[in-house]
Structure 1
């Protein structure tokens, strides 16, 4: 039964049921994110046998389409009013569509026509991304409405991101074993897609069913208009604190996607051990999940901005250490360094969303209009532009360094020294440049705990 009582957004401490129910909503999204980031390019090049540049282009088109739909869904969810709330109707449709379209993505049409396979992947991937947007954008915009307490928001996002990392762990650690259990090759990918699609559908519905949503919020009754929507998004892009978190987030996402897409190639063609990839990735993400409470505690002492800077700086340092040391060590070195990298990576799952929630309140205090969907929609828009650029760069670079595709799906050929060097740089200096750019820009983000408290007093006076 769908929850219908009033939101308890002004409560100091949220009930555990609300924290867990809301947290579940990020599990399917991060399972999706992990699968697409770590495996989709490799699936297209090594199983579907599309060329790396063509495969990267297919993914880039889907991500750009996904980015375009984000602001529209964010705006629509801000201006939707039903008896079930603003956010949950979209999440319901998104969860169901995501489940079915995810299964279809891994059932490309039979035949050898590169063009037909390319366009099938592009179209179905666009549908998958639209479903993800319908669920994820309203879900992200919902958190500022659930609680308005500064520290409780961090705690709520910590619960959210514990489930996010769980989804990431499932995607990282179980996808390849599940493919093997389903028979491997094309058949294995098809079976995996069906199982994961069903899992995403079920977990995506949990917050819709368990978490109540406020029946009416300021401005929810206004019908959506294109001109108003454009003004809202232009207004968001003129918000300096928002830009100072948006740009670092996008750069970090681009760098992370470069690493995600490249790691499977590193372990397959350099270590010659895809199974070791599952172990190393699982270790990194397990440490990442365990580090989330640590970063929540750190943020209470030094603030969200400096926690984010510290974490991503440490993550970048570990990536450089891997780049320098891995050629001289065996795979155990990769296990250790990637586990250490997980400590820094944990902050990426907590701080950005907690920071944006604060920015939405600063905007409300200045404008008198609630526009959480606009801000989270634009946040996700630019993250997906970053993802598109990152994945496309990997495909393009693999093409340029002479990547040799398998003659038989799933059988890895030997690569040239030039290709090996290119793969190493994709898990080293290339993404680190993106991380360093994000750190420099984030340094100027201005909202501290003291300023946030002042803004909340202004909002209370408005109410």
Structure 2
């Protein structure tokens, strides 16, 4: 792989962070609007809607490790991963718009199938960008704290994107309907605007490798045993097995991955519930609720970075996890005391959310560096592919759990223009899936986090070891 840069330039930070405008938008919109689009606009039963959402994410679990391995091979051959990133930037807008072009009046199953196919294609295009994008920090910078700085800038942009897309998407739908358009048209316009932003952000971020490295720096090929230039071509099955082999061979990566997946499951549950809480509990729009969740993240992301420098990333992540869990659990009181008081614990959860996003992503390149010091370079893409698969699976199954809870508790689906009074059991289901279940998952993630062994001294030792070893000849395996 290309050797890490010795210093972290401002251009690298800016270009890399801009990519999170798109990743934050696509990471937010499906969980926020896709389920409610199917149940409240297309009239799809929550069980069918949840199944369609989940199947597309299961596909991500299959395809992401393969994309990661192919990205590693591209890096070894050409010195860059950007080809995959550009393909994702071009394909995602097209398929995201397709997802929201369901013709009015289609039967329930046909509507669900249309959304499934469109979103499956969109998710695949997104993975082509996201997997190599997550792999880059391990290659762009080599310092323990510099990685936190790079990721912290990304998370600030991510929080802005989540806020803009989370609040703006529903506002666009509302503006179109208020102007005489249908909900179908509103969602289509929303998808078109979002798709254009995805494309611009991803194309800018795809230039970050050239910005950081220039064109004169030589590329050190990956070992031949890990898809280097001299390695024979292998099929998707081998890439998939190598991806999960990486999980088994790195205890720090495995502990961090399990923690992040469980936490993504909890966050996916809450994201899926935001629109329902706003509509059925508050009787208001999503924007204010999203503001209370995301605005604190903008303010405290630098504080999580400072805290991690003082006490270590893993201890800071433990604190963020506990704060989020306590804030989420307190929302169970909405069953008996509904009201605007919920904005306070939601804001507290938002402050913790900044740490839950920035700290694991800053720890991921540490696990890559630790693995490279022991097993040789060349697996950053493989690690990021499995990571992205785990994240998308967690977010997806969060939406699945939410849809199951809605179905079991008697939630009544509607079509555009129709309104119903939901039964009390459905209201309780919405609150429980927004509070108690995410809190339990967050507390559970502390068990796997306790098994994460890396500390600053371990990373400094790994970085020094990789930097002091001579580069192997082309195609030669690392000792």
When normalised by structure 2's length, the TM-score is 0.90
RMSD: 2.0
Aligned 1:363-378 pairs, distance under 5 A: 363-378=371-386
Quick one: which of 229, 252, 255 aligns to 1:241?
A: 252
> Bigger shift: 372-381 or 214-223?
214-223
CA distance in structure 1 between the partners assigned to 2:298 and 2:218 by the alignment: 34
The correspondence for 2:316, drawn from 307, 316, 329, is 307
Aligned pair 1:139/2:133, yes or no? yes
For residues 34 and 312 of structure 1, what CA distance do their matches in structure 2 show?
20
Match of 1:387 in 2: 395
Matches within 5 A, 1:395-410: 395-406=403-414, 408-410=415-417
1:90 to 81, 84, 87: 84
Residue 379 of structure 1, CA deviation: 0.9
Q: Distance in 2 between matches of 1:329 and 1:313?
A: 24
Counterpart residue number, 1:115 = 109
- The answer (yes or no) to whether the contact 2:57–2:123 under 8 Å persists in 1 is yes
Which range moves more in the overlay, 291-300 or 439-448? 439-448
1:350 and 2:358 matched: yes
Alignment correspondent of 1:197 = 195
Number of residues of Structure 1 aligned to a counterpart in Structure 2: 453
How many angstroms does 1:67 deviate by?
Answer: 1.8
Alignment of 1:98-247 (within 5 A): 98-183=92-177, 185-212=183-210, 216-219=219-222, 220-223=228-231, 224-226=233-235, 229=239, 230-247=241-258
Distance 1:102 1:215 in 2: 38
Gaps of 5+ in 2: 223-227, 471-479
What's the CA shift string for 1:8-41, capped at 9, x where partnerless?
83323x2211100111112101101110111111
Correspondence for 2:455 among 448, 454, 457:
448
For 1:393, what is the secondary structure of its paired residue? helix
Q: 1:97 to 1:210 in 2, by over 3 A?
A: same
Aligned to 2:294: 285
Counterpart CA distance in 1 for 2:412 and 2:55 is 24
Partner in structure 2 of residue 424 of structure 1: 431
| Residues 188-223 of structure 1 deviation map (CA, whole Å, 9 limit, x = unaligned) | 111111111111111111112354156623314244
Q: Paired residue for 1:9?
A: 4
1:264-289 per-position Cα deviation (integer Å, ceiling 9, x unaligned):
1122112222x2x3102122101112
Aligned 8 A contact 1:84 1:215 in 2: no
Could you tell me how far apart the structure 1 residues matched to 2:206 and 2:438 are? Answer: 36
Give 1:351 deviation, angstroms.
Answer: 0.8
Contact 2:243–2:383 (CA<8 Å) still a contact in 1?
no
1:263 aligns with 2:266: no
When residues 228 and 15 of structure 1 are mapped into structure 2, their CA distance, relative to the original with a 3 A threshold, is same
Q: CA deviation at 1:110?
A: 4.2
Q: Deviations over 1:43-85 (max 9, x none)?
A: 1100111100000000000111122111000000000158864
> Residue 80 of structure 1 aligns to a residue in which SS?
helix
Secondary structure of 2:103 counterpart: coil
Distance in 1 (CA, whole Å) between partners of 2:405 and 2:312 is 38
Contact 2:76/2:221 (8 A) holds in 1: no
Distance 2:238 2:118 in 1: 31
Gaps of at least 5 residues in structure 1 are 1-5
Residues 331-389 of structure 1 deviation map (CA, whole Å, 9 limit, x = unaligned):
2x122221122111110121111111000111111111320011111111112221222
SS in 2 for 1:350: helix
Residue 3 of structure 1 is matched in structure 2 by none
Q: Following TM superposition, by how much is the alpha carbon of 1:410 offset from its aligned partner in structure 2, in angstroms? A: 4.8
User: Are 1:330 and 2:339 matched, yes or no?
Assistant: yes
Q: Distance in 1 between matches of 2:35 and 2:338?
A: 27
What's the offset of the Cα at 1:310? 0.5
Quote the Cα distance in structure 1 between the aligned partners of 2:377 and 2:208: 27
Partner of 2:475: none
Normalization by structure 1: what TM-score? Answer: 0.93
